[in-house]
Amino acid sequence: MIIVNVKENENLEKALRRFKKKYEKIGILKELRNRTSFTKPSVKKRMIKNRAIRRQELYAKENY
């Protein structure tokens, strides 16, 4: 559970911004998305490998 204490004379937008940062930092939404559907370990490995390949290609393009 995320708790954000609102201080006296604090703007509501600031408190909301702090809540959003905490929410993203904890990774609730990412975990929820991962739990909605099951992906096989072999598929996860393939996805990670493809991401690494793409990253290396982009890095190679920038350096040339």
CA distance 4 to 23: 10
In the DSSP assignment, the letter for residue 1 is: -
Contacts of 2 (CB under 8 A, 6+ apart): 19, 22, 23, 26
Q: Give the per-residue pLDDT at 27.
A: 87
Question: 16 is written with which tokens?
Answer: 């909301």
Give the predicted TM-score (pTM) of the model. 0.50
| Interval 4-52: pLDDT, tens | 888 889 899 999 999 999 988 888 888 888 899 999 999 999 999 999 9
CB 4 within 8 A of CB 18: yes
Report the chain's C-alpha Rg in angstroms: 19
